[in-house]
Structure 1
Amino acid sequence: MQTRNDTLLWMYEHMALSRYYEERIKAAYMIGKTPLFNMANGPLPGEMHLSNGQEPCAVGVCAHLGPEDFVSAGHRPHHVAIAKGVDLPAMTAEIFGRSTGLSGGQGGHMHLFDPAVNFTCSGIIAQGMGPAVGAALAFRMRGEPHVAVAYVGEAAVNQGAWHEAMNLAAVWKLPFICIVEDNGWGVSVSKAASTAVPRNDVRVAGYGMPGVHIADNDTLAIHAAAGEAVARARAGEGPTLIEIETFRLEGHFMGDVETYRPEGEKEGLFARDEIPRFRAMLIERGIADEATISSIEQGGRARVDDAFDHALASPEPMAGEAFATVFAESEEL
């Protein structure tokens, strides 16, 4: 089935928006961390995991989803959150630890939660599998035609939580989709050194569910495979795994010197960046001209800049607020 032009433009818009968002985050994160890197310094202390290069994994799937569908992401979540429609100013405020953030500035970038669009994420590897399968079960029990999607990295499939969730999703034939973002590296350990099978779309045959492999970070192929998986799930035909060969254009975290990568690998990945390829495809097919593409990009930058202005103008939480959402008040205490 041919992808509609408006969907193609939506996917490019959100890929470009996500890339610019990460560029703004990167610039803000590095303030105070040079020349000697110390992740405790600057306006964004702590670890920061950027999703540059993995944007196709988000837009190709989320183009088929609505706000009622559930999505859980991992510790590299910004591209998925943006494609799912998470409130951008509130998300940015959350990352900066401000009171107007999604969780009042108490969660940070690895713990984004927006119930308005049923999005969540976690810094614990494979931790989103259980909540996503639980959401799929809830949809089934309530007779709702929604689907649940869990994003994990290729290293997460070696976690017990992943296997347990996959087994239950298959046994109960739930409307669940697992997206494996295979960027080749679990922190600094290659997939070949950590996983007994080269492709996890083959591995899921052990759970009696279909698996699909997408090569070369191909946005259109991701969109097509996700469309079939979502249709299967909504029709009550059970779960699907889609493993995507994608590319991490930054380190595992900001400050990662990436000495584990083979010489020349990083340069080769930039040459295969999907965003300029997708942009060129839109123009070559006559779907958009340079002026339209430029307008889309400028609109996305304006949205991101406005979100950053909102976040930086927002107050930090009061110290006492740290207890308000952690401990329930009780007269017995």
Structure 2
Amino acid sequence: MKDNIAFPVVYKQDDEVSSGNLLELYKDMILGRSFEDMCAQMYYRGKMFGFVHLYNGQEAVSTGVIKALTEDDYVCSTYRDHVHALSKGVPANEVMAELFGKETGCSKGRGGSMHIFSSKHNFLGGFAFIGEGIPVATGSAFQSIYQKQVLKSTKQVAVTACFFGDGTSNNGQFFECLNMAVLWKLPIIFVVENNQWAIGMAHHRSASTPEIHKKAEVFGLPGVEVDGMDVLAIRKVTLEAVQRARSGEGPTLIEALTYRFRGHSLADPDELRSRDEKEAWIARDPIKRLSKYIIEQRIATSEELLRAEDIIKNEIEEAVEFAISSPEPNIEDLHKYLFAEN
């Protein structure tokens, strides 16, 4: 495995990140971590069914990218989609209810863990098969420039952020869509969440060129490698990619080097990864790193951060109560929502 756990812990607060923004980034990461921890509890208590893939450890990527976007921008996710949806503004109540298969869920209880969707929040959905969302995101970016160039929209060009894992970068959809995005100068940001493992396959064992960002060069778009455990570093490269996309210069490929703290899914005993490897990455927990920085810069005290965490955890407990008390879908509505209604 490539040794990418030696990145220095360096935060540089620039003009783009105010003290208020730092606290919002921290709260968003806490929301994602706490939500996923609660999902694990509910899954093992038999409240959730099917496959559930948690995001613990990768929160800096979701927060760093999505919080650099606007409400009008789009996000396309994977089967590890809960936290992406939360960062995009989908309420915790609706995401939790969806995981419980309830009618009040953001996908009306029809999608479950791997198919979180919200048109209101321009969240294009989670996708169960790897690479499945990349063409959807490419289409989203195409409609953005179509709105501007053909339909003469006066709004700024909407950017699409497309998330996928390191294993997906060896699939055909990835290469085909990189080519189209550059050819048409689409406003899209391809975000590779390289958590080092594709289910049970170590990344360096499955890629002839482990540095995924270098694959961008042959298609003519920028490829950027960034420390995926550093939310401010991710935010910085994302803001640059957003500016490039909005100005008509085309796509960017961002490879965020990160790590998932849990197994591939909650059904995975996680016996393939070494203890030393896991401990080395857990020591670089992105939430603890940002917390340390905030306290050292006297932006907030540890007590203030703990109070913020308590508020968020109460919000998640309320989401569980909301999900439990919500109605099940009616059997008569089995085929409802399959097609758009007039």
Structure 2 length-normalised TM: 0.90
Mapped contact 1:149–1:176 kept (Cα < 8 A):
yes
Mapped contact 1:7–1:63 kept (Cα < 8 A):
no
Provide the aligned length of Structure 1 versus Structure 2.
319
Q: Partner of 1:76 in structure 2?
A: 80
> Is residue 171 of structure 1 aligned with residue 175 of structure 2?
no
2:147 aligned to which of 122, 142, 147: 142
Mapped contact 1:87–1:114 kept (Cα < 8 A):
no
2:67 aligned to which of 48, 63, 66: 63
1:287 aligned to which of 277, 299, 310: 299
Mapped contact 2:65–2:238 kept (Cα < 8 A):
yes
Residue 27 (structure 1) shift: 0.5
Residue 87 (structure 1) shift: 2.2
- Describe how 1:102-141 pairs up with structure 2 within 5 A: 102-119=106-123, 120-141=125-146
- Describe how 1:26-65 pairs up with structure 2 within 5 A: 26-31=40-45, 42-65=46-69
After superposition, the C-alpha distances for 1:201-233 in whole angstroms (9 at most, x for unaligned) are: 111101100011012521111010001001111
3-state SS of paired residue (1:192): helix
Residue 297 (structure 1) shift: 1.0
Mapped contact 2:78–2:163 kept (Cα < 8 A):
yes
The 1-side partners of 2:212 and 2:281 are apart by 22
1:257 aligned to which of 269, 281, 289: 269
Mapped contact 1:67–1:117 kept (Cα < 8 A):
yes
The 2-side partners of 1:217 and 1:291 are apart by 24
In structure 2, the CA distance between the partners of 1:7 and 1:238, relative to structure 1 (3 Å rule), is same
Mapped contact 2:227–2:234 kept (Cα < 8 A):
no
> Is residue 318 of structure 1 aligned with residue 305 of structure 2?
no
Mapped contact 2:228–2:234 kept (Cα < 8 A):
no
Q: Partner of 1:38 in structure 2?
A: none
Structure 1 length-normalised TM: 0.93
Residue 121 (structure 1) shift: 1.5
After superposition, the C-alpha distances for 1:229-284 in whole angstroms (9 at most, x for unaligned) are: 01111111110011001110000011312221124222222211111111011000
> Is residue 101 of structure 1 aligned with residue 113 of structure 2?
no
Residue 291 (structure 1) shift: 2.9
The 1-side partners of 2:185 and 2:335 are apart by 40
Which ranges of structure 2 fall in alignment gaps of 5 or more residues? 1-13, 149-155
The 1-side partners of 2:198 and 2:91 are apart by 29
Mapped contact 2:60–2:228 kept (Cα < 8 A):
no
Residue 286 (structure 1) shift: 1.1
Q: Partner of 1:35 in structure 2?
A: none
Q: Which amino acid aligns with 1:57?
A: V
1:184 aligned to which of 196, 218, 223: 196
The 2-side partners of 1:223 and 1:263 are apart by 30
RMSD: 1.4
Which ranges of structure 1 fall in alignment gaps of 5 or more residues? 32-41
> Is residue 200 of structure 1 aligned with residue 199 of structure 2?
no
The 2-side partners of 1:301 and 1:323 are apart by 36
Mapped contact 2:95–2:116 kept (Cα < 8 A):
yes
**Runs of 4 or more above 4 Å deviation:** none
3-state SS of paired residue (1:138): helix
The 2-side partners of 1:298 and 1:255 are apart by 29
- Describe how 1:268-279 pairs up with structure 2 within 5 A: 268-279=280-291
1:213 aligned to which of 225, 237, 246: 225
Q: Partner of 2:7 in structure 1?
A: none
3-state SS of paired residue (2:329): coil
Q: Which amino acid aligns with 1:245?
A: L
The 2-side partners of 1:287 and 1:327 are apart by 49
